[in-house]
Structure 1
Amino acid sequence: MPAHVSGTEGYAAEADSLFVRYESIPSEQAHSAVLHLLPKPPAQVLDIGAGTGRDAAWLASLGHRVVAVEPTAALRLRAMQLHVSPAITWIDDSLPDLAALAAREEQFDLVMLTAVLMHLDDAQRRRALPNIAARVAPGGMLIMTLRHGPVPPGRRMFEVDAQTIIGPARQLALTLELNRHGASLGAENRAAGVTWTTLAFAKRPREASSTD
């Protein structure tokens, strides 16, 4: 892995404040719009851009096996100490390629990307989507959140139109199940005018062969 991963600017330096901010919002509240779409445990779950480990720990507590991907060592190493669980496997990997995950050749019942894709520019997102879709098992679910609004100083973020995700996703056998827009839960972001789009896609199951 390279020492610097595109899109991670500012996160290591702000690790302390990020842990306070992220961990203060329960995952059930952050993901209330998609609770009905989560697979029944035990399921294989992939959390891309796992950050402080809040969601990975929550998913593990529900009875899932979680692979948590986080390229920023200052977040990943501290998250591993904060959320100790035999049900969580931590991996140093990053978009757009997800090279380490690709080498494992695993697919997952649920893939989550919370506040991740806005760190990739258009070209990187086009490269990333097929690699993300490849990790979703047939019949599985992909859930992501997209951030809209002013970019904090020192961060690398881009505005992402949901339609630029929905169209290409359809070509990757991903069917849109939910498209919801809402205000930020965090007081600081809400005051700054930050809003979020939540998208959920179901991956079409493999078609049964004529001999089945």
Structure 2
Amino acid sequence: MSSNVLGTEGYAENAAQLIERWESMSFFDLHGDVAHLLPEVPSLILDVGAGSGKDAAALAEMGHSTVAVEPVDGLRKFGSTRQRSSRIEWVDDSLPDLNVVHSMNLAFDVAMLTAVGMHLDTPERVHAMRHLSSFLLTGGHVLMTIRHGLVPAGRHMFEVAAEETMQLAADCGLRCVYSETKGSIQESNRNQGVTWTRLAFRRN
């Protein structure tokens, strides 16, 4: 499916390098700032842009069940082979519509979008936020990160303001409970001035 999805450019071609990079980072290195927002009891989590499945595997170890959405064939195949768990269901789907996820008729406690939002243009971001809100249970959270700075060659990426994302979320009944921008944890990106905004929203 990856060849048909805008925003996946550069991922299939560099899958091996990206997998090595992602697998070297722990879940708490990436998500420690918002880990307290994860449910304490086994819950259902939507991981959009699941990549190599590193996060989905960590969530499974915590007892959660995860629908891992990944449109890049090579990444999804690696993840489904490497991260073998009855608590992970791999899905070939993508934002902004998430048609396959919608057809599953599930309600999620958490939706995670790690390094995904900046691949969507403005209309797509509006559409995506509406869908994500509709998938969440009351009291559920959207946890997301957005990249800022130099765009890697061959990537389909936009500059997305945190304030815009907060407004989109508010329009969909999602209240911002966490916002912070900091330098990349990857030294090469940090040296190029790349920063990341982490946002968390709660469905009222």
C-alpha deviation, 1:150, in angstroms: 0.4
* Superimposed CA distance per residue, residues 99-158 of structure 1 (whole angstroms, 9 cap, x where no aligned partner): 111111211001100000100111211121101111111111110001001000011110
Is residue 2:196 matched to residue 1:196? yes
Opposite residue 119 of structure 2, the aligned amino acid is: H
2:13 counterpart letter in structure 1: A
User: What does residue 79 of structure 1 align with?
Assistant: 79
Unaligned runs of 5+ in 1: 205-212
Gaps of 5+ in 2: none
**Distance in structure 2 (CA, Å) of the matches to 1:67 and 1:152:** 28
Read off the aligned partner of 1:95 and give its amino acid letter. Answer: L
For 1:103 and 1:110, the matched residues in 2 are separated by 18
Please report how far the alpha carbon of residue 185 of structure 1 lies from its aligned counterpart in structure 2 after TM superposition: 0.7
Aligned to 1:159: 159
Q: Distance in 2 between matches of 1:85 and 1:201?
A: 28
**1:76-155 → structure 2 map (5 Å cutoff):** 76-155=76-155
Tell me the percent identity: 45
Name whichever structure is richer in helix by fraction: 2
Alignment of 1:27-38 (within 5 A): 27-38=27-38
What is the TM-score normalised by the length of structure 2?
A: 0.97
Contact 2:7 2:157 in 1 (8 A): yes
* Alpha-carbon distance, 1:23 to partner: 0.8
Total equivalences in the alignment: 204
The alignment's TM-score, normalised by the length of structure 1, stands at: 0.93
Deviation at 1:2, TM superposition (A): 7.6
Distance in 1, matches of 2:186 and 2:135, equals 30
Aligned to 2:57: 57
- Tell me the equivalent position of 1:4: 4
